[in-house]
C-alpha cells in the first residue's frame, strides 16, 4: 500500500508541475531568451493590462478575447503573435481585421495596443482596420 501511495503522490506532483509550467515559462521566458529591455517591459505591461482570466487564456489558447464595449454579442480574438484579429459574433467568426503599428513593436505591446484601442473607441478601431469578411 505504501508503494501505491508514493506513486500516486508522485503522479499528482507531476500533474501540478505540468499545469503551472506554461505560466512560469511565460514569466521567465523574457529573461531566459535574452529578450531586449523593450520586450521585457512589454511583457510586464501585458501582464499588468490583462485580467487574470485573459492572461490564462493567452497562455493556454494562444489568443485573448476582448469583449466589445458596444455590441454585447461581439468578441475580438487577438492572437499571441502577429496575425489577424478575428471578430466573433454570436459564436461565429464574421471577419478578420488587420491593423498594425507603423513602427516595429514587441508582440506583447501589439496585444496591449489592440485591447486598449478596442476598449477606448471601438468605432475608430474598426474604421482604421483592413477588413476581410468571412463567407459561409
How confident is residue 25, by pLDDT bands cut at 50, 70 and 90? Answer: confident
Pick 24 or 49 by higher pLDDT.
Answer: 49
pLDDT for position 77: 97
Note whether 81 and 17 are within 8 A (CB).
no
Average pLDDT of the chain is 88
Q: What residue spans define the domains of the chain?
A: 1-34, 37-131
Angstrom distance (rounded) from CA 107 to CA 129 = 18
CB burial string 62-99: b at 16+ within 10 A, e below: ebbebebeeeeebbbbbbbeeebbbbbeeeeeebbbeb
Instruction: Tell me the pLDDT band of 40, cut-offs 50, 70 and 90.
Output: confident
Overall average pLDDT of the 97-116 stretch? 91
CA dihedral (100, 44, 66, 134) positive or negative = positive
| pLDDT score of 1 more than 90 | no
State the DSSP string of 29-71: HHHHTT--HHHHHHHHHHHHHS-HHHHHHHHHHSEEEEE-SS-
Amino acid at each position: 500500500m505504501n508503494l501505491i501511495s508514493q506513486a500516486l503522490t508522485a503522479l499528482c506532483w507531476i500533474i501540478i508541475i505540468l499545469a503551472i509550467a506554461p505560466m512560469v515559462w511565460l514569466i521567465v521566458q523574457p529573461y531566459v531568451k535574452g529578450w531586449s529591455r523593450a520586450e521585457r517591459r512589454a511583457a510586464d505591461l501585458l501582464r499588468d493590462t490583462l485580467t487574470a482570466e485573459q492572461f490564462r487564456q493567452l497562455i493556454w489558447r494562444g489568443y485573448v478575447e476582448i469583449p466589445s464595449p458596444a455590441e454585447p454579442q461581439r468578441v475580438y480574438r487577438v492572437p499571441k503573435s502577429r496575425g489577424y484579429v478575428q471578430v466573433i459574433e454570436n459564436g461565429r467568426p464574421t471577419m478578420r481585421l488587420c491593423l498594425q503599428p507603423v513602427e516595429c513593436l514587441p508582440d506583447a505591446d501589439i496585444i496591449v495596443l489592440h485591447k486598449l484601442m478596442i476598449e477606448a473607441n471601438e468605432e475608430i478601431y474598426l474604421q482604421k482596420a483592413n477588413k476581410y469578411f468571412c463567407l459561409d
